[in-house]
Structure 1
Amino acid sequence: MRFKDVFSIIGPSMVGPSSSHTAGALRIGRAARRIFGQRPEIAEIMLYGSFAETYIGHGSDLAFAAGLLDFEADDMRIRDSLLLAEETGMHISFTKGKGPFSHPNTVRLKLSGGGREDVIVGSSIGGGNIVVTDVNGFEVNFTVRTPTLLVFHRDRPGIVAEITGLLGGGGINIGFMEVDRKSRLGDALTVIETDESLSESLMETIRGMQEVTRIGIVDLTAKGVV
């Protein structure tokens, strides 16, 4: 990945100590929460590589909890995030994973609650930047640097064109798009990074499409907790 500016390298304004292990971990947690769409009741967090070896000393455990609470990287409540998560009824556990992983700072989050379960894999790649590489078994590669729409749908001819047509009609410019599917005419996931935030009415229109099973929106430029 090419960094777009000096702030991508030096990292964001944050509660430290590490842009990779703290700010990046928090950003992964926030992205996972936004994909899940609500506060999870249970978060099972499996850490790989450097995350697994140093997560307590670098405050990554606090950062993941803060991200799942949808805190900003400079929120002083990060220091008490595990306690605050527990007070909301969220149960968080940490384990060390084994086997191959895509990046030294990789994490697998299994979120559940309200009859839903999502499994999200992401990596912190430096300067507080992240990449999400797997969502519920779909292979993806997105960064959430801009508003990101996830559309879970059944695969059929023309559906991706219909989705992009709705976005274009709503004045939304697409910066990046990828599609993965589990089988021909089976379950699919379309991920679209956009230049603008999506309106509630546009999201409702996409959500109401016949083949769409659910949508997720990761817009870290927008304020407010989901």
Structure 2
Amino acid sequence: MRFKDVFSIIGPAMVGPSSSHTAGAARIGRAARQVLGEFPGIAEVTFFGSFAATYQGHGTDRAIIGGLLDFATDDHRLPDSIELAEAGGMNISFRQGTGLFPHPNTVRLHLTGRDTGMELTLTGTSIGGGNIEIVDIDGFSVKLTGNYPTVLIHHMDYLGVLASVTDVMRRGEFNIGHMSLDRKNRSGAALTVLELDEPATEALTGELLGLPAVKSVSVVDLNRKPQEQEGKEETP
């Protein structure tokens, strides 16, 4: 990661001993919660590398679960996140993974939505200073930093789909800062990830969902305030 400023090393305002093992982990969990779009009834958490060796001592387990509850990195409830999640009906398991992994601080989450039964597998890395990279979503290779509002579009790999997506962005005056795309096979399922300069709106996601080849749209915005900080009660 290219050095930008001292805050890239110190990390964000946070609860916990480590910007990479705690703050970064919470941001990965929160990104996964937003991609899933609902409370996870089942959360299978597999740690790799340094995460696997030290996750209990550094509170990485509690940070990940706090993120799955949509807690920000400085939320005072993070130390109690596991108990709060289980009280809300989340079935949690932690594992230590082996084999190849993309970074020493890597976690793989397999989530099942409590209400819909929707499943999500997401792999994220904490690269220092609270910064993260989501590198895999349901077998698609992606790059999602969480630093900017992000739209994830599941679609079929048909001719002209990207042109239609970018045209929607142009007409809505949304500037694309970064794009990544992966597909299962030619003319098969694909995932496009767009990092934007401004938050996505319901009108934008609705228009994207109206495109013939688009199957689903989700939004990740780690900069938005959680419900409690907006004056609302957070309900697991």
TM-score range, shorter chain: over 0.9
Cα displacement (A) at 1:161: 1.1
152, 155, 168: which one pairs with 2:154? Answer: 152
Counterpart of 2:199 in structure 1 is 197
Counterpart of 1:209 in structure 2 is 211
Cα displacement (A) at 1:3: 3.7
Counterpart of 2:230 in structure 1 is none
| Cα separation, 1, equivalents of 2:3 and 2:78 | 26
Amino acid at match of 1:196: E
Percent identical pairs in the alignment equals 55
| Cα separation, 2, equivalents of 1:115 and 1:72 | 25
Which segments of structure 1 move beyond 2 Å, counting only runs of 4 or more? 3-6, 223-226
**Which consecutive residues of structure 2, in runs of 5 or more, have no partner in the other structure?**
228-233
Cα displacement (A) at 1:2: 1.7
TM-score using structure 2 length: 0.93
Cα displacement (A) at 1:220: 1.3
Residue-by-residue CA offset, 1:70-127 (whole Å, 9 max, x unaligned): 0011111001100000111111110000101110000100011222111000100000
Counterpart of 1:33 in structure 2 is 33
Matched, 1:181 2:180: no
Counterparts of residues 16-165 of structure 1 (less than 5 Å): 16-113=16-113, 114-165=116-167
| Cα separation, 1, equivalents of 2:17 and 2:123 | 23
Amino acid at match of 2:131: N
Cα displacement (A) at 1:48: 0.2
Cα displacement (A) at 1:16: 1.4
Amino acid at match of 1:120: L
Instruction: Give the SS at the match of 2:72.
Output: coil
Counterpart of 2:15 in structure 1 is 15
Residue-by-residue CA offset, 1:173-223 (whole Å, 9 max, x unaligned): 110001110111100000000000011111111122211111111011222
Equivalent pairs, count: 226
TM-score using structure 1 length: 0.97
Amino acid at match of 1:61: D
Query: What is the aligned-residue RMSD (CA, Å)?
Result: 1.2
Instruction: Give the SS at the match of 2:12.
Output: coil
**Which consecutive residues of structure 1, in runs of 5 or more, have no partner in the other structure?**
none
